[in-house]
Amino acid sequence: MNEIVLGVGKDAPTVTNEQGGKQSQVLYRFDLLDPKAMFEMTKVLKYGAEKYGTDNWKKIDVSDHLNHLLIHIYAYLAGDTTDDHLSHIMCRAMFAQAVAIKEEGEV
């Protein structure tokens, strides 16, 4: 399966910096992701993979991911501290986005 990520690959546009250095144009800002938040999210991803199986989330539709996301939002807002709700929210948002992207590509 050949997936294309816009701006990544041998055909990506080239830019030249002030010193004359050339490289592919950057369309993304991974450097803006918070490392500690990513570690917290990946703890939840690891737990989920162990409990439900790797990539099980791909078998769940967007509306179910969004419902679980909302459950974690409201549990967090209600003051519940029995789970890592913010990390679960990050995971469910990523899952919903990924499933939606895949579905859009299959139209």
pLDDT tens across 52-100, in order? 999 999 999 999 999 999 999 999 999 999 999 999 999 999 999 999 9
Q: Residue 2 falls within a domain, yes or no?
A: no
Q: Decide if pLDDT at 15 tops 90.
A: yes
Q: Residue 22 falls within a domain, yes or no?
A: no
Q: Residue 62 falls within a domain, yes or no?
A: yes
- The phi, psi pair for 16, rounded to 5°, reads -120, 130
Q: Residue 41 falls within a domain, yes or no?
A: yes
Which range of residues forms the domain containing residue 97? 29-105
Q: Residue 11 falls within a domain, yes or no?
A: no
Question: pLDDT tens digits for 22-45?
Answer: 999 989 999 999 999 999 999 999
Counted domains in the chain: 1
Q: Residue 1 falls within a domain, yes or no?
A: no
